[in-house]
Structures are given as C-alpha cells and as structure tokens.
Amino acid sequence: MNLTDVSYKVDNIVDDLFASFGKDHVEEVFGKYDIEDKEERVKLLRKCMRVIDTSNVTDVLTIDDEYNDELKIFVEGSWRFLI
C-alpha cells in the first residue's frame, strides 16, 4: 500500500467515524477497517476530533484506559461544536 492509499484509507475511516454517534457504531467502523490496535484507534479518534496536542496531559494511563477515555469523549460529542 503506497502513501496515497494509506492517506485515502485514513480519510475514509475519519469520515466514517465523524458520522458515528454511539460507541457501538464507532466499534463497527474499527471492525470494518480491521483496526484492532488501541493505539491506532486512539490516534484515529483524535484525528477525527482534531486534537492537536496531548503533551500537557500529566496522567500516565494504560492504553486501555486511554482508549476508553478517548472513546467516552468522542461519544459524548461536545468536541463537534469546536470544529
């Protein structure tokens, strides 16, 4: 897969995520694209929410906790008003 293909796939995933409003639907999107890795899921959720920087976060979380936190924020949806 070349860089253009990867970029296209990421754009499609982000578009599908943006159209998702519930946890189950978000999980369906990740399943559709065979994305099991939680670090990748976190990155894609943040990309969709247009999170630029998380370097000021002081809490050290496990990847499971980090994913669950990002998913909760995503599903809650207030980020949609900021973009």
Q: What would the pLDDT profile of 25-40 be if each residue is shown by its tens digit?
A: 999 999 999 999 999 9
Q: Which helix (H) or strand (E) holds 46?
A: helix 38-49
For residue 44, give both structure tokens. 């894609």
Amino acid at 25: H
Cα separation, 75 vs 21, whole angstroms: 6
Cα separation, 37 vs 53, whole angstroms: 21
Cα separation, 8 vs 27, whole angstroms: 20
> What is the reported pTM?
0.89
Give the pLDDT of residue 14. 96
